[in-house]
């Protein structure tokens, strides 16, 4: 299988008045042709920031401090904004967190997607309109709905339209950032099903960001677990569920209720994630880890392949 | 003993009249529902967005006035009571809201937030506020009293909301999706806290959620709501393992399972294209 995306030692930080926030630190992973990767971790761990690095849509105060983002054989880190404009939409496209609330209320939804296509592809408006009709069918919306305004859509319909927009220029890689978090169970389930089918059908690679590990279990081939800006475990979905190795991953797994199997007591991870202005010097999970040893306090564990295809950053397991 | 007994509870909201139309149309937000909760039990009210859960919750604490029906709390019907006669009940019934970011007044310190219901009942006592903060795990209380909501994390805010609800020793608590805005790791802690409090204070709870896995974890019984009606009630484990109503089956089939090997059949209750 070919590698479509490879991230090597990526680091990104935000400059703030209080200092530098290390939001993505020493992250490495690859996504192969046709694969969906799930990215999990608690709020503030850097999931969206990582997505924004790959899109190179960073705010003024953010900078990529080191590493490479090799997409389709080329490192995009040194690329200029002009070059990125070519890559965005057609190469990498993103379904932004809470984007369904960002549709412009005064324009028809269909027109907003048509505009996006015309701005990025060299085609006429009428062709673009035809394309949007096809996209609507693909995401399970009736094409007549193109004539409606955002407030005439339900939350689920708006999210479908956002997905259609992200697919507008036939990207090879799609980043979906919490696409169902604001939706209720039934609508969430419909959207997940839709995204999964489309990803397979169009043979895109996908990075699916969610804090809900059950959603990831159902959608993704691989799972990356982030903690305080670091990748701490990365493996095949089955391997990660059958044999989670990192203490944080194990803790995360036991903090989810399920409707299946025996009823188990939930064990929340004690404490809070560290302040990324001044993260712990050694392992960033050290203050909350029940397995911590002296070395964990002082030395950052390296992210290495501990079993074939199973990557891990922990002193104890290796 | 029944703590709560509601009978034929109904709430209609008038719709805007169409021009030249003579008939007033209504949304049947809560449509003739009846259920009971035994003292010390947790009843889960589950259903998809818009089915009427929050309206039900607000009726039970009388933030809304029912169109018709009865709400017996400890034997007395509060459905028709006027505001001035509700004061005594306000002490016994408390509500915890969905969004900890909206439900706390940003201009009030934690101390003032928790003091508010005490002052309303003429029961202000600093020690009680200390105790309430300790009970919800915000220790030491002095470290939190004079902070503002924006200086707390989401989980801490929801703990403040719980402390505020418990500080006047209610006998019945209505919790409307108290953890749906919280991160998973924080959510587990807040759920465990509510279970522990129920045990130590023998609280009766109506727990509103759209997450069936959470309902299973928290509740003794479950009532499934659909289009303003209760379509199924029963023991939580029983409803989840053995759903009887087709809507309950559909709802259960939409719940993602934290196990990549689990295969679930999706039951669709709507057509595919919307
Ligand atoms: N003040 C109101 N005026 C008019 N209609 C209302 C009002 N409040 C609620 N409704 C309607 O009543 C129905 C039930 O609403 P409710 O908010 O109780 O649902 P819910 O189950 O809590 O949904 P969610 O999970 O999205 O909060 C909906 O159709 C809603 O639009
Ligand atoms: N524009 C910004 N300026 C400063 N800090 C930021 C900014 N955006 C995010 N951060 C910080 O970066 C970290 C990761 O944030 P984010 O990528 O939003 O995480 P997630 O999506 O997992 O919730 C957090 O500590 C957050 O406070
Ligand atoms: S490196 Fe040490 S502190 Fe970090 S997760 Fe492993 S055992 Fe825990
Ligand atoms: Mg995010
Ligand atoms: Mg609600």
Residue A302 belongs to a domain:
yes
Residues of chain A contacting residue B259, judged by C-beta atoms under 8 Å apart: 214, 217, 241, 258, 260-261
Q: Is the dihedral of CA B66, B167, B97, B36 positive or negative?
A: negative
Q: What is the rounded CA–CA span in Å between residue B31 and residue B56? A: 10
pLDDT value of position A206: 97
Residues of chain B contacting residue A185, judged by C-beta atoms under 8 Å apart: 48, 210-212, 251, 254-255
Bigger pLDDT: A5 vs B186 = A5
Residue A316 CA: nearest ligand 3 atom is 7
Ligand (nearest to CA of A278): 2
Per-position DSSP letters for B130-173, written without gaps between them: HHHHHHTT--STHHHHT--GGGS-HHHHHHHHHHHHHTT--SEE
Residue A160 belongs to a domain:
no
Give Rg (Cα) of chain A. Answer: 20
pLDDT value of position B114: 96
Between the CA of residue A261 and those of A257, B90, B223, B257, what are the distances in Å? 10, 40, 21, 10
Which residue in A136, A186, A235 has the most chain B C-beta atoms within 10 A of its own C-beta, making it the best mutation to test that interface? A186
Contact A179, A165 (CB under 8 A): no
Which residue in A97, A191, A198, A257 has the most chain B C-beta atoms within 10 A of its own C-beta, making it the best mutation to test that interface? A257
Residue A42 belongs to a domain:
yes
Residue in chain B nearest A269 by alpha carbon: B185
- Please count the structural domains in chain A: 1
B55 confidence band (pLDDT: 50, 70, 90): very high
pLDDT value of position B272: 46
Residues of chain A contacting residue B216, judged by C-beta atoms under 8 Å apart: 257, 259, 263
Ligand (nearest to CA of B29): 1
* Ligand 1 pocket residues where CB is under 6 Å: B 13, 27, 29, 47, 49-55, 210
Structural domain span for residue A24:
3-91+169-312
Residues of chain A contacting residue B273, judged by C-beta atoms under 8 Å apart: 137, 140-142
Mean pLDDT of B242-252: 95
A200 membership: H or E segment, kind and range: helix A185-201
Residue B210 CA: nearest ligand 1 atom is 25
Q: How many CB pairs under 8 A join A and B?
A: 126
Contacts of A283 (CB under 8 A, 6+ apart): A289, A292, A296, A297, A299, A300, A301, A313, A314, A315
Centre of ligand 4 to C-alpha B182, Å, is: 13
Please judge whether B185 and A269 are an interchain contact, meaning their C-beta atoms are less than 8 angstroms apart. yes
Mean pLDDT of A9-21: 93
pLDDT value of position B90: 87
Q: What is the rounded CA–CA span in Å between residue A213 and residue A224? A: 11
Q: What is the rounded CA–CA span in Å between residue A84 and residue A265? A: 48
B218 membership: H or E segment, kind and range: helix B212-218
Give the number of C-alpha atoms closer than 13 A to the C-alpha of residue B118, restricted to the C-beta side.
Answer: 19
Bigger pLDDT: A149 vs B23 = A149
pLDDT value of position B270: 60
Centre of ligand 2 to C-alpha A213, Å, is: 20
> Is A80 a residue whose pLDDT tops 90?
yes
Mean pLDDT, chain B, as a whole number? 90
Centre of ligand 1 to C-alpha B52, Å, is: 6
Nearest neighbour of B258 by CB, restricted to A156, A185, A256: A256
pTM here?
0.84
Q: Which fold has domain B1-86+219-274?
A: Rossmann fold (3.40.50)
pLDDT value of position B242: 96
Residue A212 belongs to a domain:
yes
Q: Is A47 in the pocket of ligand 2 (CB under 6 A)?
A: yes
Q: What is the rounded CA–CA span in Å between residue B208 and residue B175? A: 6
B103 confidence band (pLDDT: 50, 70, 90): confident
In the beta sheet, which residues pair with residue A224? A39, A234
> Is B200 a residue whose pLDDT tops 50?
yes
pLDDT value of position A227: 96
A163 confidence band (pLDDT: 50, 70, 90): very high
Please judge whether B185 and A252 are an interchain contact, meaning their C-beta atoms are less than 8 angstroms apart. yes
Look up the CATH number of the domain holding residue A255: 3.40.50.300
pLDDT value of position A150: 93
A160 contacts chain B (CB < 8 A)? yes
Q: Which residue has the tokens 């991230």?
A: A7
Q: What percentage of chain A exceeds 70 in pLDDT?
A: 99
The predicted-structure confidence for B128-187, as pLDDT tens digits, reads as follows 999 999 888 888 899 899 999 988 877 888 889 999 998 988 999 999 988 877 777 778
Q: Find the length of chain B.
A: 274
The predicted-structure confidence for A200-213, as pLDDT tens digits, reads as follows 999 999 999 998 89
* Ligand 3 pocket residues where CB is under 6 Å: A 247, 283, 285-286, 289, 291-292, 296, 301, 314-316
pLDDT value of position B179: 85
A154 contacts chain B (CB < 8 A)? yes
Nearest neighbour of A141 by CB, restricted to B212, B269, B273: B273
A259 contacts chain B (CB < 8 A)? yes
> A204 in the Ramachandran plot: left (φ > 0), alpha (ψ -120 to 50) or beta?
beta
In the beta sheet, which residues pair with residue B212? none
Structural tokens at position A184: 């209720």
Residue B38, φ and ψ in degrees, nearest 5: -70, 155
Contact B132, B163 (CB under 8 A): yes
Farthest-apart Cα atoms in chain B, separation = 63
B interface residues, A as partner, C-beta within 8 Å: 48-49, 153-154, 183-189, 191-192, 210-214, 216-217, 237, 240, 250-262, 266, 268-269, 272-274
Q: What is the rounded CA–CA span in Å between residue B179 and residue B171? A: 21
Judged by DSSP in three states, B219 sits in coil
Residue nearest to atom 1 of ligand 3 (CA): A314
Bigger pLDDT: B183 vs B51 = B51
Residue A260 belongs to a domain:
yes
């Amino acid at each position: 299988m070919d590698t479509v995306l490879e991230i090597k030692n990526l680091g990104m930080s935000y400059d703030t008045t209080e200092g530098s926030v290390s939001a993505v630190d020493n992250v490495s992973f690859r996504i192969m042709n046709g694969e969906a990767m799930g990215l999990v971790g608690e709020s503030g761990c850097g999931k969206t920031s990582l997505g924004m690095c790959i899109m190179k849509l960073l705010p003024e105060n953010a900078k990529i401090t080191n590493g490479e983002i090799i997409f389709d054989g080329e490192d995009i880190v040194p690329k200029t904004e002009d070059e990125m404009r070519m890559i965005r939409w057609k190469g990498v496209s993103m379904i932004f967190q809470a984007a369904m609330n960002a549709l412009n209320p005064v324009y028809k939804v269909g027109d907003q997607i048509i505009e996006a296509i015309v701005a990025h592809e060299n085609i006429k408006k009428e062709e673009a309109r035809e394309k949007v009709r096809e996209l609507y069918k693909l995401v399970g919306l009736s094409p007549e709905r193109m004539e409606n305004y955002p407030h005439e859509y339900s939350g689920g319909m708006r999210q479908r339209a956002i997905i259609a927009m992200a697919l507008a220029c036939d990207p090879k890689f799609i980043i979906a950032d919490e696409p169902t978090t604001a939706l209720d169970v039934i609508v969430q389930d419909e959207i997940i099903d839709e995204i999964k089918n489309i990803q397979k059908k169009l043979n895109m690679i996908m990075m699916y960001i969610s804090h809900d590990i059950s959603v990831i279990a159902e959608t993704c081939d691989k799972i990356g677990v982030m903690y305080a800006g670091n990748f701490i475990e990365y493996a095949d979905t089955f391997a990660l569920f059958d044999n989670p190795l990192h203490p944080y991953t194990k803790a995360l797994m036991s903090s989810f209720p399920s409707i299946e199997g025996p009823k188990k007591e939930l064990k929340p991870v004690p404490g809070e994630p560290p302040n990324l202005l001044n993260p712990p010097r050694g392992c960033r999970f050290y203050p909350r880890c029940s397995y911590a040893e002296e070395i964990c306090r002082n030395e950052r564990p390296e992210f290495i392949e501990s079993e074939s295809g199973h990557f891990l950053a922990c002193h104890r397991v290796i | 003993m029944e703590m709560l007994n509601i009978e034929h509870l109904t709430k209609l909201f008038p719709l805007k009249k169409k021009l030249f139309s003579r008939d007033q149309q209504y949304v049947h937000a809560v449509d003739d529902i009846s259920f009971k909760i035994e003292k010390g039990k947790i009843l889960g009210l589950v259903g998809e967005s818009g089915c009427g859960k929050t309206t039900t919750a607000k009726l039970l604490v009388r933030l809304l006035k029912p169109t018709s029906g009865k709400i017996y709390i400890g034997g007395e019907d509060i459905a028709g009571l006027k505001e001035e006669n509700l004061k005594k009940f306000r002490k016994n019934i408390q509500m915890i809201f969905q969004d900890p970011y909206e439900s706390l007044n940003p201009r009030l310190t934690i101390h003032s937030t928790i003091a508010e219901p005490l002052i309303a009942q003429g029961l202000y006592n600093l020690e009680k506020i200390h105790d309430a903060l300790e009970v919800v795990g915000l220790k030491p209380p002095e470290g939190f009293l004079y902070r503002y909501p924006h200086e707390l994390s989401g989980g801490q805010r929801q703990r403040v909301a719980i402390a505020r609800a418990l500080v006047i020793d209610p006998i019945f608590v209505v919790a409307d999706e108290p953890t749906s805005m919280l991160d998973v790791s924080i959510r587990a802690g807040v759920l465990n806290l509510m279970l522990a409090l129920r045990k130590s204070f023998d609280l009766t709870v109506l727990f509103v959620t759209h997450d069936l896995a959470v309902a299973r974890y928290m509740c003794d019984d479950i009532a499934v709501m659909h289009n303003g009606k209760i379509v199924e009630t029963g023991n939580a484990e029983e409803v989840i393992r053995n759903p009887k109503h087709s809507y309950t089956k559909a709802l259960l089939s939409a719940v993602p399972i934290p196990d990549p090997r689990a295969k679930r059949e999706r039951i669709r209750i709507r057509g595919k294209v919307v």
